[in-house]
Chains A and B, each alone.
Chain A
Amino acid sequence: MLRVFAASSLIEAFTSIAREFEAENPGVGIDLDFGGSQRLRSQLEFGAKADVFASDDNRQMDILVDNDLVFGRPVDFTANELVVITVADGPVNGLGDLAKSGIRVVLAQASVPVGAYSRQALANLAADTKNGLGPQFESLVLANLVSEEANVRFVSQKVALGEMDAGIVYQTDVAATRKVGTIKTIPIPEAFNIKAHYQITILESSGDTELAQSFVRFVLSETGQSLLANHGFSTP
């Protein structure tokens, strides 16, 4: 039995990777636990036992490395980008609308990797003088913030349910969100977007580092990478 902790955005991709890995290794079962990377990291710090950890940022990994909780060295295995999602018939039709007063915006908490990336992207958009969003853009959007969520799927779900007008999630979350409700997407231009680098590692608490190693290798393999690509992830 292999226990894998993975960022919420990996739900679909890692579920299919785990299924494929189990098919190739009869008798091996994979137990997946998804959540905000910061929550999983904090649980590991407090003694949770797992074999593999896949995080959507380096910050969480670095903390684990500093606390000697990582076996070997974390490696980049995939990447992701941000996108704005909005309610289908809602008031937000362009990036500029996010700053209009009365718009209900939802983001992940700043401690969640995607929450930190979202704020960086907003800052990038505000800092640019040519896109016309203006230096106030970031603070105006943050003033519209109605809730700060513990992981990316809580963000996407709030928009899909129509409770919030707009939110920032990973582009890979869009497919899963469409299953919950009708949404539109507004791209964040490449120049301002954030590339999230995902890292994977074997953990010190692993009871079977060999099996954990072969799972990590599988994620990095052509099969693993193409499964990730199927779910919209890009190469690291």
Chain B
Amino acid sequence: MARLNAATRLTNHPVGVLGGSGAILYVLFIGLPVLALLIRAAQQSDFFDAVTSDTALTALRLSLLTSIISMAVVVVLGTPFAYLLARSDHLWARVVDSLVELPLVLPPVVAGVAMLMAFGRNGLIGSELTSLGINIPFTTTAVVFAQIFVASPFFIRSAKLGFQSVDKDYEDVAQTLGISPLRTFLRITLPLASPAMFTGLGLAWARALSEFGATMMFAGNLTGETQTMPLAIMSAMETSLDGALALSVVLLAGSVMLLVGLGLLTRRSWQRR
């Protein structure tokens, strides 16, 4: 009854009506370009050739490889880090916490220039690395660096919120029962926080796949080495629209699959909770 009232009130509410037209405009605004992309790509006779072209496959392979490595690093290092942030109320934890947000507001191009200044051959620590024979800029490693830089906050923030939502009492009870802290974390805390972690992973992965600015600045653009999907799209756009369309559709499909797949995982881990 209360719900029905709320619904009828909403349709009569001036803000509710505005919200409806806002929703329609929004769906058109986001949906139309995506639809146009698909229609134009479908009109191409050689769409399949463009999708399976060497450039496209090489870029796709590199994008998948680098983003999987970045996500592995982010999850392995980011999970304990996020747990620490969730459980600690030290001053330094709060300082580090705000540092995690920095890549979210920093333009990726700036991130790329900054990484070049740090890890570049004449960079702050890059010159030492170079003398040790370690070479990061303009390599596939640099692509991974760029992706971790821009995408990690999405996972860490989400995982932190996930851990915060796990009542500390569960952990305390488990430990009074004699279960080791590590076991408690793996058996109780982690499964309870996993829906939030999957959501964060999905966002971070999508962000890593779409990374462009920092990669261009710090990793350059070389087929098979540093030319990921977004950079391949930029290069293709300047030579043939067909190629760019095909690559765009592939990247779009990849992102949507990621969104759906992780959405399903999130739901399953919610149900298991």
Contacts and interface: CB of A to CB of B under 8 A. Distances in A.
Interface of A: 36, 38-39, 42, 104, 106, 109, 111-112, 145-150, 158, 161-164
A147 to B, nearest CB: 3
Interface string B113-155: 0001000111000000000000001100000000000000000
B222 A148 contact: yes
Given A36-B238, A111-B238, A163-B116, A149 B137 contact: no
B239 to A, nearest CB: 5
Contacts of B234: 150
Contact of B220 (A38, A42, A147, A162): A147
Interface centre among B220, B226, B234, B235 (most CB of A within 10 A): B220
A145 B121 CA distance: 16
16 contacts: A38-B238, A39-B238, A109-B238, A111-B238, A145-B222, A146-B220, A147-B221, A147-B226, A150-B234, A150-B235, A158-B138, A161-B121, A162-B120, A162-B122, A163-B121, A163-B122
A161 B120 contact: yes
Please tell me the size bucket of the interface on B.
20 to 34
B237 interface: yes
A163 B237 CA distance: 27
Contacts of A145: 222
Contacts of A146: 138, 220, 222, 225
A200 B37 CA distance: 33
A164 B121 CA distance: 9
Contacts of B222: 145-148
B221 A148 contact: yes
Main DSSP-derived SS at the B contact region: loop
B116 to A, nearest CB: 7
Interface of B: 116, 120-122, 137-138, 216, 219-223, 225-227, 234-235, 237-239
Given A36-B238, A111-B235, A147 B122 contact: no
A61 B234 CA distance: 20
Which 6 residue pairs across A and B have the least CB separation, nearest first? A147-B220, A162-B122, A38-B238, A111-B239, A146-B138, A111-B238
Contacts of B216: 150
Contacts of A162: 120-122
Nearest to A35: B238
Contact of B237 (A42, A104, A147, A149): A42
B59 to A, nearest CB: 13
Contacts of B137: 163
A42 B226 CA distance: 23
A42 B238 CA distance: 6
Nearest to A38: B238
Nearest to B234: A150
Nearest to B137: A163
Contact of B239 (A38, A104, A148, A158): A38
A159 B125 CA distance: 19
B121 A148 contact: no
Nearest to A110: B239
Interface centre among A39, A42, A112 (most CB of B within 10 A): A42
B237 A109 contact: no
Nearest to A165: B121
Contact of A149 (B120, B221, B225): B221
Contacts of B138: 104, 146-147, 158, 163-164
Contacts of A111: 235, 238-239
Given A38-B238, A106-B220, A150-B234, 6 more contacts: A36-B238, A42-B238, A111-B235, A146-B138, A149-B221, A158-B220
Contacts of B120: 161-163
Contact of A161 (B116, B223, B225, B227): B116
B226 to A, nearest CB: 7
Contacts of B223: 148
Contacts of A163: 116, 120-122, 137-138
B238 A149 contact: no
Nearest to B236: A111
Nearest to B120: A163
A113 to B, nearest CB: 11
A24 B222 CA distance: 45
B235 A109 contact: yes
A164 B116 CA distance: 12
A111 B244 CA distance: 14
A36 B237 CA distance: 13
Nearest to B135: A104
Contacts of B122: 161-163
A163 B122 CA distance: 7
